[in-house]
Amino acid sequence: MSRELTPQETAERSLIKTYRKSIWNPFIAAVKRYELIEPGDRIAVCISGGKDSVILAKLMQELQRHTSQPFELVFMVMDPGYKPENRKLIEDNAALLGIPITIFDSDIFDVTVSVEKNPCYLCARMRRGFLYAKAQELGCNKIALGHHFSDVIETTVMGLFYGGQLQAMPPKLRSKNFPGMELIRPLYCVHEDAIIAWKNYNHLQFLQCACRFTEEREAAGDGVGRSKRQEIKMLLRELKKTNPNIEKSIFQGINGLQLDTFPGFKHRGVFHSFPELYNHPDWFAGETKSEEISEGL
């Protein structure tokens, strides 16, 4: 008679078996393709309590078990001012899934609650600073965040629609304010739908943002509230009904950017104008493929 698996064992096995194609393989693909982890790394996996950061923690544990190139992990939780029941949910899930978390406190919610302009941006920036500082204190050289494929697409579209810029979310990033520290996004190729499916399969309940803006969105009844990200998420959901590959097309677009078709772009913070590039002897060699296609239409 076989022994009944614990919730931790079931969650771990489902990542490798049930969701191998939709979660494990894309996770490994991102780690290898973008060279996110190196032997000897000490990585702080930053856990917010949501589904994305928790599944990231489990994937990193599995990778650590199976890799031939050893690295260290620290599982770090920053409490920005959660209600006691929300903090308890994080602690309970960590215990249930076998994630040895280190919790430290901050006052981010108290600071951002009175800010009217871009409070979510300010919250994210402050969180990042706290996480870098704590990770460095714990001897880490990298922090791992739970941004996934869908976040990359939504961020790109949101920046274009509301920020007036075509800007993607890179798979890794060197910190400007914390020398020697690097941010990595191992879920870069994992779709959010797959993460939700894994969560439901294992009957898990995770924390949402737990701030007043999330509460407002829930109260709005349309899933949007004042959140532009949620608005873009719903727009993409509608567009996928007629074009199921729209997210894949956007991702391919930011991976194969045709700079010679743009009227201008920035590189390392320096703006390059169309006339400057057009008159450069090595830049424009003639008609681009996109022009040929448009003329054929």
Q: How confident is the model at residue 259, as a pLDDT?
A: 80
Domains in the chain: boundaries: 7-210, 264-297
11 near 58, Cβ under 8 Å? yes
Q: How confident is the model at residue 214, as a pLDDT?
A: 56
Question: Among residues 65, 70, 140, which one has the least CA distance to residue 102?
Answer: 140
Q: How confident is the model at residue 12, as a pLDDT?
A: 97
CATH 3.30.420.140 for domain 7-210: no
Could you list the pLDDT tens digit for every one of the 297 residues in the chain? 568 899 999 999 999 999 999 999 999 999 999 999 999 999 999 999 999 999 999 999 999 999 988 999 999 999 888 889 999 999 999 999 999 999 998 877 767 666 666 667 777 788 888 899 999 999 999 999 999 999 999 999 999 998 888 889 999 999 999 999 999 999 999 999 999 999 999 999 998 766 655 555 444 444 444 578 889 999 999 999 999 999 999 999 999 888 878 888 888 888 888 888 788 777 665 555 544 434 443
Q: Where are the alpha helices (DSSP H) in 98-227?
A: 108-112, 119-137, 149-162, 192-201, 212-220
106 near 78, Cβ under 8 Å? yes
Cα(24)–Cα(63) distance, rounded to whole angstroms?
9
Burial class (CB in 10 A: 0-12, 13-18, 19+), 204: middle
Cα(53)–Cα(173) distance, rounded to whole angstroms?
18
User: Cβ contacts of residue 38 below 8 Å, gap of 6+?
Assistant: 69, 71
Question: Among residues 198, 199, 207, which one has the least CA distance to residue 23?
Answer: 198
Q: How confident is the model at residue 32, as a pLDDT?
A: 96
Q: How confident is the model at residue 267, as a pLDDT?
A: 83
Q: Which residues pair with 172 in a beta bridge?
A: 184
Cα(223)–Cα(238) distance, rounded to whole angstroms?
14
User: Cβ contacts of residue 234 below 8 Å, gap of 6+?
Assistant: 223, 224
Cα of 207 vs its chain's centroid, Å: 16
Q: How confident is the model at residue 172, as a pLDDT?
A: 97
Q: How confident is the model at residue 212, as a pLDDT?
A: 52
3-class secondary structure, 198: helix
Q: How confident is the model at residue 76, as a pLDDT?
A: 96
**Helix and strand totals (H; E) in the chain:** 13, 8
